[in-house]
Amino acid sequence: MDRATLGFRLTQIAADSARLEPGHGIQPSDPGPVIEAVLRELQPLHIDLLYYDLERVEIIDPPYLSFLTQLQGSCRVIGVRMVCVHMQPSTAFALASWLDRPPSIEFAGGMWI
C-alpha cells in the first residue's frame, strides 16, 4: 500500500528534519502497516528529526496515543527523534483529562527544535 492509501504525507523540510502530516486514513487500531510505511520512507531521507504534525488531529484517544508511542519507539530504533507538534488546545484539554501519567512522547509547540 502507498502512503496516500495509508493516509499520511511526509515532507523533508531541512537537511536533517522532515514533517509527517497524518490524514484521516490512519488506522490507529492497526498501526503496523502505517509504521512500516513511514519508516520505509524515512530511511532514504537520512534525517535525525521527525515532526509529527497534530494540527488536524482533533481527538487523541488511547488507541491513537498507543499508535504515536509505537511510532516514536520505532523511529528511535532507526535513529530518528520524533516530536509531536501543533497540538490543538481542545485536543490537549481532552487528552489531559484522561491521562494518568505523562506520555512518553515528546511534544513541542512548533517546528523550531
Query: Which parts of this chain interact with other proteins (CB under 8 A)?
Result: 84-85, 87-93, 95-97, 99, 101-103, 107-110
Quick one: 6 or 20, whose CB is closer to other proteins?
A: 20
Choose between 29 and 97: whose C-beta lies nearer to other proteins.
97
As to burial, measured by CB atoms within 10 angstroms (0-12 exposed, 13-18 middle, 19+ buried), residue 1 is exposed
Nearest-approach distance from CB 5 to other proteins, in angstroms? 29
**Which residues, listed in sequence order, are joined to residue 9 by a DSSP beta bridge?**
21
Closest approach of Cβ 61 to other proteins, in Å? 14
* C-alpha cell recorded at residue 62: 488511547
Given the complex with other proteins, which of 6 and 84 has the nearer CB atom?
84
Query: What radius of gyration, in Å, describes the C-alpha atoms of the chain?
Result: 13
We find the least distance from the C-beta atom of residue 82 to other proteins, in angstroms, to be: 13
Q: Residue 29: exposed, middle, or buried by beta-carbon count in 10 A (0-12, 13-18, 19+)?
A: exposed
